[in-house]
Amino acid sequence: MSKTIESLLVEKRVFKPSREFSKAARIGSMAEYRKIYEASIRNPEKFWAAEASELVWQKRWSKVLDWKAPFAKWFVGGKINASENCLDRHLSGPRRNKAALIWEGEPGERRTLTFHQLHREVCVFANILKRNGAKKGDRVLIYLPMIPEAVVAMLACARIGAVHTVVFAGFSSDSIRDRIQDSGATLVVTADGGYRRGQVVTLKQNVDQALEGARGVKKVIVFRRTNQDIHIKPGRDVWWHREAEYVTADCPAEPLDSEHPLFILYTSGSTGKPKGILHTTGGYLTSCYATSKYIFDLREEDVFWCTADVGWVTGHSYVTYGPLAAGATCMMYEGAPNWPQPDRFWKIIADYGVTILYTAPTAIRAFIKWGKEWPAKHDLSSLRLLGSVGEPINPEAWIWYHETIGGGRCPIVDTWWQTETGVIMISPFPGATPLKPGSATLPFFGVDAAIVDDHGREVGADQGGKLIIRKPWPGMLRTIYGDKARYRKQYWGEFKGVYVAGDGARRDKDGYFWVVGRIDDVLNVAGHRLGTAEVESALVSHETVAEAAVVGRPDELKGQAVVAFVTLREGAKASKELADKLRKHVGTVIGPIAKPDDIRFAEALPKTRSGKIMRRLLKQIVEGANITGDTTTLEDFRVLAELRSRDD
């Protein structure tokens, strides 16, 4: 039986950056990319040291890398502060009065904070943290809506050396409690509430519930956002605005060891129990800065909008640390993309002249479903670059994004990375790389990525296998908080000294990477191992399909039969005829082997709160099994109930 993953979907379209774009870009040709890439792989330490030198260090490192696999120390002996690099270093020049954050609340309020103003807010809040007992090394749990205070709280922790653990405001009290217990947080920062799809969310109430039965939290600092009634527990809970009256805006940035922990972020992906991914200061910041600068090719006049919530790693690296370290202006929006109408994003882009939009395939597929008329209402001509992250982007969704949002003129950076990698690892350079829809293209500088078989041998062009990274990089996770053994086993246990990402992928003859899905999701049909992403992309390329999720069902004859869950675009109707058409369509696009045996139409698919399809749950449904394992990250339980009732 074949050990590698077969890859049958062939995408032939190629899009080159315009001459104009290339000319203005930092990396303007493939020759330049290759030259720097090859040098960075021959001597990664030299490359990273040069990038790190562009940041402010309170004390320079004595050694770039200390690597005792799988444990890395970067910029050994160096002292640095992330908040100083995101703020103070911009204050002495023309960026002082440049917008750092432009924010819009869901109900419509607008706020702009210049670097000077943001610095001031961060210093005030850092002093509030200190006043409430937070010290260097303490863990602070942040549970806030997408408001500037979320960024302020993160940077204030970084300023005093407290370790933040941000919990997405859509998570429940159980999730907060688990994370408090695992991280040992002593302080919680929250708000009375937030706004989502016109509703007021009860954040403080969730924290109160989480703290029943959780020990160790001494103080809760509450920001007033919605002005709703909340319970204030005397001695424990304090108001942010009241505390601000007692402190000054003078708070020097604490000199921190390069390996001082910056944050813990819990991730479960789509399977398993959440793990606390630990990132440290100097290396992470260097990687955030370098990737932001080269991949988004940031310019002083850009308005950069990463739509991710700060509760995800994308919000850590590309709302907060990367763009601010690079002195960029970031757009931030609190609410839902379809509130009050499905054109909210497009209105924001037009209103603020957003130049770079970085979002997720799940959002793009929703936009496609809602229809072209919504973006058509607004002037999107300020956009010059688009980005995608979080899942493989189906080629048809890519084309739609390119044409309908990017007006055919904006390159798309499809960026592959993970909470664990901290920063973008595989991505186009927008002024250099010819783009192929659906491919994250080529590795970033210093990233030694490859595809191997089950024995760790590199496979040839167009053969599928496991995506690995062969050298340490500064932004890599340092451990799973409190569980070194799990860290070692999960990421470095399979091949010695090699990071295994858990994704299946292939490289084509040009060396481009195509991620075909999580290894756990790979299908095995009559001895052929197929990635879920390809079958799903084939379905999505049909004009009636909005979204698809493919899983295997045990089959006596074939090993696994292919079952596809499909949601339709607005206006399309589910029928047996359509199911037959879709099966045929997949047969034509990929080949008969990939034809779904069973197509089930659904209103919605089970997703994590960050928008990833939870194939594990769909698999349990088609197997008729009970839903087991961790479901705390599931976005909407009704979706599951609905799918199950159809199955009975």
Which residue's CB is nearer to ligand PRX, number 104 or number 534? 534
CA proximity to 451, closest of 439, 433, 437: 439
Is residue 180 close enough to count as binding ligand PRX by CB under 6 A? no
Residues facing residue 525 across a β-bridge: 528
Compute the least distance from the CB of residue 610 to ligand PRX, in Å. Answer: 6
How many residues bind ligand PRX, per CB under 6 A? Answer: 21
Angle at 358 between CA 543 and CA 109, to 5 degrees: 105
Is residue 188 close enough to count as binding ligand PRX by CB under 6 A? no
Strands of 58-174, DSSP E: 63-68, 71-76, 79-80, 99-104, 110-114, 139-143, 163-166
Which residue's CB is nearer to ligand PRX, number 204 or number 506? 506
Is residue 313 close enough to count as binding ligand PRX by CB under 6 A? yes
Is residue 415 close enough to count as binding ligand PRX by CB under 6 A? yes
Is residue 417 close enough to count as binding ligand PRX by CB under 6 A? yes
Compute the least distance from the CB of residue 124 to ligand PRX, in Å. Answer: 31
Which residue's CB is nearer to ligand PRX, number 202 or number 632? 632
Compute the least distance from the CB of residue 515 to ligand PRX, in Å. Answer: 4
Instruction: Please identify, among the stretches 177-185, 415-423, 474-482, 579-587, the one whose residues bind ligand PRX according to the rule CB under 6 A.
Output: 415-423
Is residue 506 close enough to count as binding ligand PRX by CB under 6 A? no
- Give the Cα separation of 344 and 367 in Å (integer): 11
Compute the least distance from the CB of residue 312 to ligand PRX, in Å. Answer: 6
Compute the least distance from the CB of residue 503 to ligand PRX, in Å. Answer: 5
Identify the residue whose tokens are 């399309």: 572
Is residue 309 close enough to count as binding ligand PRX by CB under 6 A? no
> In the chain, what is the straight-line distance between the N-terminal and C-terminal CA atoms, in Å?
34
- Give the Cα separation of 399 and 405 in Å (integer): 10
Residue choice 267, 280, 532, 620 for contact with ligand PRX (CB under 6 A)? 267
Instruction: Please identify, among the stretches 50-58, 293-301, 386-394, 594-602, the one whose residues bind ligand PRX according to the rule CB under 6 A.
Output: 386-394
Any idea of the CA torsion for 178, 184, 190, 195, to the nearest 10 degrees? -30
Residue with CB nearest ligand PRX? 419
For β-strands 329-333 and 99-104, DSSP reports them as parallel
Q: Which residues of 264-302 are buried (b: 16+ CB within 10 A; e: fewer)?
A: bbbbbbbbeebbbbbbbbbbbbbbbbbbbbbbbbbeeeb
Is residue 392 close enough to count as binding ligand PRX by CB under 6 A? yes
Residues facing residue 27 across a β-bridge: none
Q: Tell me, rounded to whole angstroms, the distance of Cα 27 from its chain centroid.
A: 24
Is residue 279 close enough to count as binding ligand PRX by CB under 6 A? no
| Cα-Cα-Cα-Cα dihedral sign, residues 618, 619, 622, 625 | negative
Instruction: Please identify, among the stretches 107-115, 130-138, 224-232, 496-504, the one whose residues bind ligand PRX according to the rule CB under 6 A.
Output: 496-504
> 597 vs 86, 220, 535, 546, 568, CA distance in Å?
53, 53, 12, 20, 18
Compute the least distance from the CB of residue 468 to ligand PRX, in Å. Answer: 12
Which residue's CB is nearer to ligand PRX, number 121 or number 547? 547
For β-strands 187-191 and 479-480, DSSP reports them as unpaired
Is residue 503 close enough to count as binding ligand PRX by CB under 6 A? yes
Which residue's CB is nearer to ligand PRX, number 520 or number 555? 520
Binding site for ligand PRX (CB under 6 A): 267, 269, 313-314, 389-392, 414-419, 440, 501-503, 515, 518, 610
